[in-house]
Structure 1
Amino acid sequence: MSRAGAFLHRRAGVRLALLLSAPLAWLGLAYLGALAALLVTAFHSVDTFTGTLNRTFTWANFLDLATGEVYRTIVLRSVGVALAVTAIDLVVAFPMAFAMAKLAGPRTRRWLVIAVLTPLWASYLVKAYAWRVMLSSGGLLGWGFGLTATVLTLAYLWLPYMILPIYAGLERLPGSLLEAAGDLGARSWQVFRTVVWPLTFPAVIAGSIFTFSLSLGDYIAVKIVGGRSQLIGNVVYDNIGAAGDLPFAAAVATVPVVVMLGYLAAVRRTGALESL
């Protein structure tokens, strides 16, 4: 034991490898393994007569996705909803995060952080059904169901995931920079455009990754408040359940993965990820 301890003491790399071996193994098996199984299943098919799984390699599922106008519409609608939710959350979250980080006192700031975190303690279904009640014909808003209701519900559900990263980014922003910009004669909009926004842009990107990805794959809120609207998550759910076509559901489930990879690649070109 003493020799092993001395060996590990001299080699920091070995200590780090042993420390990370269990989490990396779990990541590889549970996360990457599941993605690999998903991708493999997407190239299978289901016998339309017997309903049994045919493990012969085929591109049929992806061809149906590429050539079906309905599925293209659903993908574009899902991306549009995710972008709308992200934009709404950004507009609401930035002033709230700025007030928390730069205007509120230390004690008030703690209570504001608790207030932002409190909705996360409630059940997802409770919050979604609460919006269903408010949006119903006899509810507080009475707007009915559909894409608008879906966007509002998702924007509420994921708002804390946008506020907290921006708040963390603004908290690290030195107040002396704001004072210096004011002393040099910069107006409020100029301070925001030249100082605040560039330095907090990585935090905005971090929050947008949460809101965009969570909205892109959601299906429960759409079922509850979306009416007859169909998004990617609903197509996956319906093909797993009622249709029983697991390979096609796996093919549809690869679409959000591809979209998120494209989103992350676009974000990476801005250099924001390196600044996180």
Structure 2
Amino acid sequence: MTATSLAEERTTPPVPPPRKSGPRRLSSFLIAHPRTRLALLLSAPLFWLGVVYIVALVLLLVTAFWSVDSFTGEITTEWTLENIITVLTGSLYQTVTLRTLGVALLVTLIDVVVALPIAFYMAKVASPRAQRILLIAVLMPLWASYLVKAYAWRSVLSQDGILEWMLAPLGLSTPGYGLPATVITLSYLWLPYVILPIYAGLERVPDSLLEASADLGGKTWRTLGSVVLPLVFPAIIAGTIFSFSLSLGDYITVNIVGGASQMLGNLVYTNVGAANNLPLAAAIALIPIVIIFGYLAVVRRTGALNNL
């Protein structure tokens, strides 16, 4: 190489790297800052949850401390505890609260008792092919409309329905419309929401633990009680939260199959619609919210929520 070429090579400026476009610079920045990336991903759902749901709920509950003008029917924004005192001291609201709480607890108990063997068979006994078929069978009721399922049970439980036809040879009759029909219908509606969490929890239980219990002489019920239930308890709690909370706030099923029975949801609906008393309806809506928070507090003390 000649001296002239060396001199030209030394005096030639280096070629700058290609400039990154805007999207490439943004992607490089997000890769280098994972927390910023996470914040951007969560911003939209958190905005929806915070503004559209929580703020709207808070604004609704604030109206519980307002009142309705008896002459004009307009809402008065002066703060008062009249609606809260009415709900806490009224015998009607106390009776309906106890009835609603009893229905929700009974529906939850029935769903757990029915869901446990189904979920256990799906997770630990069924073959992979049968497992997929059973999972589809559990999910299929969720594809149908809530109203369609409720009205289907209304037809089944009617005096001339298929259940009456099946029980007639045995000298029995259907319970008709009322609280028993409400419990049956709600138990059917929320059963998939209880099966799926328990099934997911049972799938996480290693088969080796069951085999070890059998090798050590543990019988079936002893294995279920000492090995399986403690491990799947958080999943059971998750399922009960669904069934309990959904039953506590339901009002459509009671209107369809409950006959003259009333639950808290019916009182809220009546005061919002027919009575046009939104503050009293908001005060009644505080009852299931307080019950749910109390239930979650009790569940949290058990430590089940920490293992979900």
Range class of TM-score, shorter chain = over 0.9
CA distance in structure 1 between the aligned counterparts of 2:40 and 2:140, rounded to whole angstroms: 37
- Which digits, 9 at most, give the CA deviation of each residue in 1:21-60, with x for residues without a partner? 1111111111111111112111111112211111111111
Q: Which letter maps to 2:214?
A: G
AA of the residue aligned to 1:134 = V
Q: Which residue of 1 aligns with 2:80?
A: 58
Q: 1:92 aligns with which of 114, 117, 139?
A: 114
Deviations 1:164-211 (A, max 9, x none): 111111111111100100100111111011100000001000100000
1:197 maps to which residue? 229
Note the 1:108-127 alignment, pairs <5 A: 108-127=130-149
- When the two structures are superposed, what TM-score results if normalisation uses the length of structure 1? 0.98
1:219-269 CA-partner distances (Å, limit 9, x unpaired): 000000001111000000000111010111011111111111111110001
Q: 1:13 aligns with which of 27, 35, 38?
A: 35
1:136 aligns with 2:168: no
AA at the equivalent of 2:45: P
Q: Give, in whole Å, the separation in 2 of the partners of 1:248 and 1:88.
A: 33
Provide structure 2 residue ranges, at least 5 long, that are not aligned to the other structure: 1-21, 165-173
2:67 matched to which residue of 1?
Answer: 45
Larger Rg over CA atoms: 2
Per the alignment, residue 172 of structure 1 pairs with 204
| SS of corresponding position for 1:51 | coil
2:99 is aligned with 1:67: no
Q: How many positions carry a matched residue from both structures?
A: 276
Cα RMSD between the aligned structures?
1.0
Is the counterpart of residue 215 in structure 1 residue 247 in structure 2? yes
Distance 2:37 2:114 in 1: 45
- Which of 88-97 and 133-142 deviates more? 133-142
The share of aligned pairs that are identical, in percent, is: 63
- Identify which of 252, 255, 259 aligns with 2:291: 259
Structure 1: gaps (5+ residues): none
Quick one: which of 38, 46, 58 aligns to 1:36?
Answer: 58
Q: What is residue 161 of structure 1 aligned with on the other side?
A: 193
1:59-102 Cα offsets, whole Å, 9 max, x none, are: 11100011101101111111110000000001100000001111
Instruction: State the shift of 1:134 in Å.
Output: 1.4
Q: Report deviation, 1:5.
A: 3.8
CA distance in 2, matches of 1:3, 1:209: 45
Taking structure 2 as the reference length, the TM-score comes to 0.88
Give the stretch that moved more between structures: 223-232 or 47-56.
47-56
Q: C-alpha separation between the residues in 1 aligned to 2:30 and 2:200?
A: 36
SS of alignment partner, residue 195 of structure 1: helix
Q: Please tell me the residue identity of whatever aligns with 1:195.
A: V
1:10 deviates by 2.0
Match status 1:236 vs 2:268:
yes
Using the TM superposition, give the Cα deviation of residue 4 of structure 1 relative to its aligned residue in structure 2, in angstroms: 4.0
